[in-house]
Structures are given as C-alpha cells and as structure tokens.
C-alpha cells in the first residue's frame, strides 16, 4: 500500500487488502450504541462548525483585519447577544468535536486498553480545562 | 518581545511540532496498513486511492487545527486576566509570519470542513461511491480557490 499514490493491494485481483486479513473486532451492543452516539455528535458539531468557524474567520480576518482585532474590538463585538451566542456555541462545539475526533484518532494507534483509557481521560481533561478558560474569557468580554 | 509574546511563540512552535509528530505517526502507521474505519459505517470502497489520502489529510488537518485551538483559547483567555497582555499577543497575529500561518490555517479548516461535509453526504446515502469521488475533486478545488482568495485578503497588509 502506497499512501501517496493511493495504490492499494485491493487493486490487484485475487489478493486481499491488508485491512481485510484481520476481521474487525466485534463490539458489545452498548459499545455499538456509544460509537453511534459519538459518530452523530462528531458529524452534528462538524456541520455547525463549518458555519461558525468559517464565519469567525471571515469576521476576524476579512471584515476586520487581524491587526485591529484588539481587546477594544473584542469588547465591542461581545457586547452583542448574537456574538455571545455565536462564540459560546462555537467554543462548545469546537471542543466537543476536537475531543471526540482526537479520541477516535488516537484509539486507532493505541492497541493497549490501559493506554487508550489514559489517552481518553487526558484528552477529556484538556477539553474541560479549555472549556473553563474559554467560558471565562467570553463571560469577561460579555460583561465588559 | 514581552514574556507573554515569547510564551505565545513557544506555544505556536509546540503546535507545529505536534503537527509534525502526528504526521510522522499517521504516515508511518498508514504505510504499515491497518483498519481505517473503526466505526464500520463507511464502505471499504471509501478506503482507496485519493480518498484514502483524503482520510489522512482530514485526520492531520484535524489534529493541527485542534492544536492551534488549544493555543488560541489560551491566548484569548488572557482577556480575562488583562487587556494589555491580550493586546500584546494580538499584535503578533498581525505580523507577516503569523499571517502566513493564518493562510495555512484557513486552508486546513476549509479542507477539513469540505471533506467532512462530503463524508456526511456519503454516509447519509446522498452520494454514491462515484459521486463521492468527484465530490472530493470539488472539495479540493473549492479549498484551493477559497484558500487563495482568503490568503489575498490576509496577506494584503504585508505588501502595503
């Protein structure tokens, strides 16, 4: 398998691809459900972020040049309910999406259950700390 | 440079190191082969050719954008402590170096969003395998076009 050209062993008839050799592990029903929930959360926040993040980028780079995004600009922008709602939703969705995506991605490389558990808890803790820091900043700007 | 600006620069270097390390890991593991889709929802036909590369690029742009998000929440968090510290870091965002980074960030976000929407449409059954393949071309073209257009805006002040 060449990742750059995309040449796959599957393309050669009669030879199974590498990922076909090992049957996927069968998951317990409750694990299936949590995977489905995780999948729906990842996609739903993803659609939301496609709008919120690109809108955020447009406002902070195209509408106003990034050189003028100082604390006065933040205080002015965050005096509007629309932007408080926008930034709060974006913060929450981005962290949920990032934590979920990173959890799925790291699990692909950590075969040991304990190592996977440690990674999961660390990623979740990082997300929780960032949520607090981000919320405090939005709250501070909203009341300023 | 002030202390908080040096800390931000170190954080940004950390973001780039995290991205490089993830790229090395993902490419290394990818070359070794293995199951790509733990969810088992996507059909195996999604795991070949350009779409296989798109899978890796999606994963790596995700890691890169998340790494920057961590730094960005910390620098915006300075607003809670002091407007002066916030403004010191904010000044860096206007430098030529950071503007180049912002262009790369825009490209990463555009591809990740476009490709993510393509995968959603495929999983909802709105795109068949062939349409999903062409849609990847559309995503790549739109990423390039919008990325270049956005970069012109972002970089323009450097040349003034």
Supply the pLDDT for residue B43.
45
Supply the pLDDT for residue A14.
52
**pLDDT higher than 50, residue A73:** yes
Supply the pLDDT for residue B71.
97
Of A39, A69, A137, nearest to B39 by CB-CB distance is A39
- Distances in Å between the alpha carbon of B123 and those of A32, B43, B48, B105? 17, 9, 16, 27
Supply the pLDDT for residue A27.
65
3-class secondary-structure state, position A2: coil
Q: What is the pLDDT of residues B82-105, one digit of tens each?
A: 999 999 999 999 999 999 999 999
Supply the pLDDT for residue A106.
92
Rounded mean pLDDT, A121-138: 97
Looking at residue A9, the DSSP 8-state letter turns out to be G
pTM above the 0.90 mark?
A: no
**% helix / strand / coil in chain A, to the nearest 5?**
75, 0, 25
- Alpha-helix runs per DSSP H in B33-95: 50-81, 83-93
- Please provide the average confidence, as pLDDT, over all residues in chain B: 88
Supply the pLDDT for residue A11.
44
Q: From the candidates A71, A91, A127, A143, which should be mutated to test the interface with B, based on the most B CB atoms within 10 A? A: A71
**pLDDT higher than 70, residue A18:** no
List the one residue out of B88, B1, B79, B68 whose CA is nearest residue A53: B68
Rounded mean pLDDT, A105-134: 94
Q: What would the two tokens of residue A5 be?
A: 């050209």
**pLDDT higher than 70, residue A53:** yes
Q: What is the pLDDT of residues A83-118, one digit of tens each?
A: 999 999 999 999 999 999 999 999 888 888 999 999
List the one residue out of B124, B123, B143, B127 whose CA is nearest residue B135: B127
> What are the DSSP calls for A12-59, one per residue?
STT---HHHHSPPPPPPHHHHHHHHHHHHHHHHHHHHHHHHHHHHHII
Lowest-pLDDT choice from A63-72, B29-38, B65-74, B134-143: B29-38
- Distances in Å between the alpha carbon of A23 and those of A1, A17, A117, B38, B115? 18, 12, 23, 12, 27
Question: What per-residue string of b and e applies to A104-121 under the rule 16 or more CB within 10 Å gives b?
Answer: bbbebeeeeeeebeebbe
To the nearest whole Å, the CA of A125 is away from the closest chain B CA by 12
Contacts of A6 in chain B (CB under 8 A): 48-53
Supply the pLDDT for residue A63.
85
Supply the pLDDT for residue B38.
45
Note which residues in 88-107 of chain A have CB less than 8 A from chain B: 91, 94-95, 98, 101-102, 104-105, 107
Supply the pLDDT for residue A3.
47
**Cβ atoms within 10 A of the Cβ of A133, count?**
17
Supply the pLDDT for residue A111.
84
């Amino acid at each position: 398998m060449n990742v750059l050209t995309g040449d796959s062993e599957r393309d050669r008839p009669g030879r199974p691809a590498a990922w076909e050799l090992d049957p996927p592990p069968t998951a317990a029903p409750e694990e299936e459900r949590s995977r489905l929930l995780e999948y729906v959360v990842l996609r739903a926040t993803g659609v939301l972020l496609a709008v919120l993040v690109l809108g955020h980028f447009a406002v902070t780079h195209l509408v106003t040049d990034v050189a003028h995004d100082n604390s006065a600009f933040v205080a002015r922008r965050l005096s509007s309910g629309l932007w408080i709602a926008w930034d709060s939703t974006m913060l929450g969705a981005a962290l949920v999406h990032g934590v979920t995506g990173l959890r799925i991605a790291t699990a692909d490389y950590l075969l040991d259950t304990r190592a996977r558990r440690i990674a999961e808890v660390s990623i979740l803790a990082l997300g929780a700390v960032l949520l607090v820091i981000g919320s405090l900043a939005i709250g501070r700007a909203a009341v300023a | 440079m002030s202390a908080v600006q040096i800390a931000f620069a170190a954080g940004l270097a950390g973001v780039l190191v995290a991205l490089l390390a993830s790229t090395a890991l993902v490419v290394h593991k990818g070359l070794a082969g293995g199951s790509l889709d733990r969810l088992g929802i996507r059909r195996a036909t999604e795991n070949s050719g350009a779409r296989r590369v798109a899978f890796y690029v999606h994963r790596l742009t995700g890691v890169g954008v998340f790494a920057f998000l961590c730094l960005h929440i910390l620098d915006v968090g300075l607003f809670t402590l002091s407007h002066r510290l916030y403004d010191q870091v904010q000044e860096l965002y206007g430098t030529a170096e950071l503007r180049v980074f912002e262009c790369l960030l825009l490209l990463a976000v555009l591809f990740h969003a476009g490709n993510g929407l393509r995968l959603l449409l495929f999983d909802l059954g709105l795109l068949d395998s062939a349409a999903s393949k062409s849609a990847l071309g559309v995503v790549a073209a739109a990423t390039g076009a919008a990325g270049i257009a956005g970069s012109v805006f972002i970089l323009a002040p450097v040349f003034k």
